[in-house]
A = this chain, B = another copy of it.
Amino acid sequence: MTRSVLDPDERTVGEWIETAGRFVTSFLGDLDDAPAVGPALPAALAHRLGQPPPAAPGRFEDLLATFGEAAGHAMSTAGPRFFAYVPGGGLMSSAIAEMLARAVNRQTAVAWAAPGLVTLEQGVLRWLCAEFGLPEGSSGVITTGASMGTLSVVVAARHRHLGEEFGDGVLYVSDHTHFCVAKAARIAGLRHVRVVPSTAELTMDVPAVARMIARDRAAGLRPFLVVGNAGTTSTGAVDRLDDLAALARREDLWLHVDGAYGGFFQLTRRGRDLFTGIGEADSVTLDPHKGLFLPYGTGVLLVRDLAALRAAHAEDAPYLTGDDAVLPNYGDLGAELTREFRGLRLWLPLHLHGVDAFRATLDEMLDLAAHAHEVLRETPGVAAPWPPPLSTAVFRSVDGNEATRRLLERVHAANTVSLSATTVHERTMIRMCLLSHRSHQVHVDEALDLVRAAASGQDFGSSSSRPPAAQI
């Protein structure tokens, strides 16, 4: 056999995988002791890391060492004490699935190129539709994240409700809706995004939406899309999805539910109770890299009517039957075309660990957030105004925004945990988001101890490597 240097024999590939395996297990072994944020990137190292690829080959081990070094100068997003933004941990079973899928290298933009693999993927998507109470015939597509699913939804709703002349289209979000909706609207060329105020419970004020819709219609505009939250990123607040569904039906709007952060709590009894009405939605975005603990880079879009997605994206969109036997061409359902077999990174973890393990871990996250809230409520100098509806505990200093920012800085100075900040009704709040399968009560208690100590004025030194406290 002729072989190119790009196509080494099986022995060499086997050795690379073995070496990669040692790297990974060593990384996992160190994870519990890793600082929350690695040291700042020295200029000399940055210079070395930024070098162009050389003409000649390098050694696999050396390159892994360089990768490991580069990865050390970063937030420890995979670790058990990462409670900032929205963690996910990163299931190893999914990381391994990714190597397998890329090695086998099948193309799944068109179903006939790999029908067996598309069938595996559809099995996961149909199961999700059923879990969310979406009717028979609903389906979906695996994306790289909720932003991509949201874009497809905005484009599909625009196409269905507005047609080609859409300058008068209006969509409605709450003041806690993630900015990916506004970004998608911007990309799709939609100018009218109404921000609906939220109630004292931090949920969308549904009567206010109705009034805004009436006003917009009176002004000759065309309302076409309303976005509800199955857990806002900020605080986990859950909109009244049943009321929004009734409104959307009455007003003939597309109802989209953003479940990027919280959606997978639908797998728990408590989540299902909170999300009543979600099965009435036209579409739901989810982020398995959050609520299913997958590594970054995997979203899911569920839709009631795949034909709407297809009609908006494919030039010639023949009638798509609801027949389950007909596999969808994923390349017709969004902005992407060529597509790796993306399903394995969900299919393998779900089938390997079993769904009950995910339900139990999600329940653990709800318990941990409730526990954190109880402790924070009793912590002197700290206010924790809302019991967490899902897995995000928010709190602040009783001494105002500036004091809250200082409190967060003092907690971070210990460089063992990561929290993040947000703004709710003009108050700066600290968020502690529990959504990593590696986080357990021992880690949460460490963070709570730090908060208690910091709130009592204790100083942990300064963490020079910490980036500017960005808000989500």
Inter-chain CA distance A72–B341, complex, in Å, is 13
A54-B355 in contact given A4-B364, A120-B70, A144-B339 (Cβ < 8 Å): yes
Output the least CB separation between A143 and chain B (Å): 9
Central interface residue in A101, A115, A151, A165, by most chain B CB within 10 Å: A115
Tell me if A102 is interfacial: C-beta within 8 Å of chain B: yes
A51 nearest CB neighbor, chain B only: B123
- Give a binary string over A456-469; 1 marks a CB under 8 Å from any B CB, 0 the rest: 00000000000110
Chain copies in complex: 2
Chain B residues with CB below 8 A from A442, complex form? 2
Q: How far is the CB of A288 from chain B (nearest CB, A)?
A: 11
Going nearest first, the 10 A-B pairs with the smallest beta carbon separation are A90-B105, A70-B116, A297-B340, A189-B189, A52-B127, A99-B99, A95-B102, A53-B350, A17-B21, A112-B467
Chain B's closest residue to A6 (CB) is B437
CA distance A470 to B96 in the complex (A): 33
Interface residues of A in 62-104 (CB under 8 A from B): 63-64, 66-67, 69-75, 77-78, 85, 88-96, 98-104
Near B by CB (< 8 A), chain A positions 90-145 give 90-96, 98-107, 110, 112-117, 119-120, 122-124, 126-127, 130, 144-145
Q: Is A155 an interface residue (CB 8 A)?
A: yes
Q: Is A214 engaged at the interface, CB distance under 8 Å to the other chain?
A: no
A14 / chain B contacts, CB cutoff of 8 Å = 21-22, 25
B164 and A191 within 8 A (CB): yes
Stretch at the interface among A180-188, A247-255, A300-308: A180-188
A 10-51 binary contact with B (CB < 8 Å = 1; else 0): 110110111011111101110010000010010001100111
13 pairs from A and B in contact (CB 8 Å cutoff): A4-B364, A4-B440, A6-B361, A7-B437, A10-B28, A18-B21, A67-B104, A67-B347, A72-B116, A144-B336, A147-B338, A167-B167, A296-B338
